[in-house]
Structures are given as C-alpha cells and as structure tokens.
Amino acid sequence: MPTSKSTSAPAPYRIIISGGGTGGHIFPAVAIANELRRRQPNAEILFVGANGRMEMTRVPEAGYEIVGLDISGLQRRLTPENLLFPIKVMRAVRKAGKLIEKFRPDAVVGVGGYASAPVLLAATSRGIPALIQEQNSYAGLVNKLLARRVQRICVAYEGMQSFFPADKLVLTGNPVRSEIASGQREEALQFFGLKPDKPVLLVIGGSLGARTLNQATAAALPRLREAGVQLLWQTGKLYFPEAEKQAAPYAPNNLHALEFVRRMDLAYAAADVVVSRAGALSVSELCLTGKPSILVPSPNVAEDHQTKNALALSSRQAALLVPDAEAGARLYNEALGLLQDTAQQQRLATNIRALARPDATATIVDELLALMEH
C-alpha cells in the first residue's frame, strides 16, 4: 500500500475534496477524509463546497477547512438563474483554478454536487490526478460529463459501465462513517429515553427532510400509539416546527419528532424497523447496520435515481419498496405489519446485510493513494 511520495524525505500529501449539497454527498466525503487522515496524519486536506449549502457548516464541524464557490445547479424551469448559470460556472472554474494553483494538490476527489464540476475541470485541465466517487445506481450528470477527464471512478453498484468508461471503474461501495454500525441497543434506548419492551420505528427522510414521509407519519401517530410502537421521527429543519407540535401530545408514549439526528449510530441501534428515503448514503448505512427497512424513494431527484437504488435492494428481497405516490395509503400498513412480523424482519435483515460493503472507504483511499503514487 502506498505510504509516501518517495523513499527520501517524503512531503505530506495534499488533497482537495470537492462537492456537497446534501448529506448524501457530504458524509461520504468526510468518511474519505477521515480514512486519509488515519493513514496519513500529516496529509493536508482542503474541502471545496458551494456557498450557502450545508457542507459549509457540516465540514468544519467534522474538523476540516472548506472554501466556498458561488455555484448552484440548473433549475428545472426557465428562470433568470438559469440564464446566469454559464457565467457562474466560468467564475467558479476560475476561482477553483486559483485555489488549485495556491494549494497545489497531489490529487482531487469529486463526490458529486454543485462544487464538484468546477474543481475537477480546473484540476484535470492542469494535469492533476482526479478520482470521482459516484454514490448512486444511476450516475449524476456532473460525474458523467467529467468521466473522461478523470483517472478513477469509484462506484457503489454493478453495471455502471453503461455510464462510465469500463477501464476506469472500481466497484467499491459507498463510504460510510465507520462508527455508524457501532451503536449498542441498551445505550441507544437510554439515550433516547425509550423502553426495552416495546418496538421502535425509525423514520428518516434524509438530511433535508421529506414531505411525504412527514405527512404520512403525522397522520399515523394515533395508530402508532394504539399499537404500542415507539417512534424516532427525523423531520428535517424545514418541517420540524410543525412536526414538533403534531408529536407533542404523543411524547408520553415515546413518539418523538427530531429535527436532526446527530447520533445515527444509536438511532440505528435502537430501531427494530426503519422507514427511509432511498438516497445512496441511507441505503449504504442500512446495508451496513442490517436493518429491516421500508424504502420510499423521492420522486424529486434526477433521473428517478432513488427508485433505482431501492430496486437494487427490493429485487433481492433485502427491503420493502413503497412508491412515494402510495405512501399516504400504504406506508403505515406496511410498517405496522413488518413490526409485528419478526420472521420477515429477520429475512430482510439477513439479505440486506449481505449487500454491505464495509471496506468501501478503505478501498477508495487505496485507489486515491495509488493515483498519487504513480
């Protein structure tokens, strides 16, 4: 395994990690940085994100420096912002170029999101080795456009040669924070104030929250109380004030609305069943933790990639799938049925655990170090 640039007086590696926008991009990026730092304590790591996006707070919280670019995505309708998009991209590429010339990285990693494109364009035009990490089973537009400019493309699903050059592909899985599967149930129940003799349902709508899940969960609160189910309901910041009011009368029954769950290791450890969106990070975490799950893919994503993520599990009997449009009518019938069926829980847990790739982060860092070595 590569550990230095040369056999004499090696200088520390310098790496830029770019991208963000959602937790599905940010947390894998931080996992890669943490593994780099574990192996190369003197490595200098700089993140580049988009101003105004959540990476500008989450990355510093993880202990890393980040620089923001003024860049955003294309809107799905004709807007003044779309007319300005080419100008914003050109300015972002120029700023990224200046950052690269100042920081002088040995390699650049793109994890997807608005900031990834200008950084990788600027880096590859200067001959700097670059690696892309694609989280989803349907490749994002930015990564598809950049594929021929980079040296390695680390993917989480098989069959990605339909999007990328086959000779650059490495099947790694998605980077997941190493502590995510380390939670202990006893500690988790105590942390959230839950009772050990009643089932626990965890509902997670991604880092930004999910309207459909929140509406269905609010409507199901009386049914959950009647069934004796305890609830950890991650709502997202936008939806939390209303959800908090809706859940307040049920708090004595341990039905809790939470804006954001910082101790996801304990949330997973407490849960008997998980209801979740089908973002790539969520799917990878569910595989690693081995949780019986019901996936409700978001319809508001590019190329409906969450449905493809969910089908990769449901087609293997590793999770249940409820379409977003059917969630209001079906979701809590499915959830309550699964909570009462321990045999089905066990089947789903066994099958989803078989799809986990616990060495994903290490494999990606192996590829990155090999790029820098050569």
Please report, in range form, the residues annotated as the binding site for UDP-N-acetyl-alpha-D-glucosamine. Answer: 22-24, 136, 177, 207, 280-285, 306
DSSP, collapsed to helix, strand or coil, labels residue 105 as coil
The residue count for the chain? 374
DSSP, collapsed to helix, strand or coil, labels residue 358 as coil
Ramachandran angles phi, psi of 66, nearest 5°: -140, 145
What's 278-291 look like in SS3? CCHHHHHHHHHHCC
Q: What's the rounded Cα separation, in Å, for the pair 175 and 364?
A: 8
AA identity, residue 29? A
DSSP for residue 155: E
Burial 19-48 (b: 16+ CB within 10 A, else e): bbbbbbbbbbbbbbbbbbeebbeebbbbbb
Q: What's the rounded Cα separation, in Å, for the pair 223 and 217?
A: 10
Name residues whose C-beta falls within 8 Å of residue 221's C-beta, 6 or more positions apart in sequence: 231, 246, 247, 250, 255
Task: Give yes or no for a contact between 120 and 110, defined as CB atoms under 8 angstroms apart.
Answer: yes
Partners of residue 118 on adjacent β-strands: none
In angstroms, how far is the first alpha carbon of the chain from the final one?
Answer: 12
193: alpha, beta or left? (left if phi > 0; alpha if psi -120 to 50)? left
Using alpha carbons, select from 115, 102, 113 the residue that is nearest to residue 69. 115
Name residues whose C-beta falls within 8 Å of residue 56's C-beta, 6 or more positions apart in sequence: 49, 50, 66, 68
| Annotated binding-site members | 22-24, 136, 177, 207, 280-285, 306
Could you count the other beta carbons within 10 Å of the beta carbon of residue 76?
9
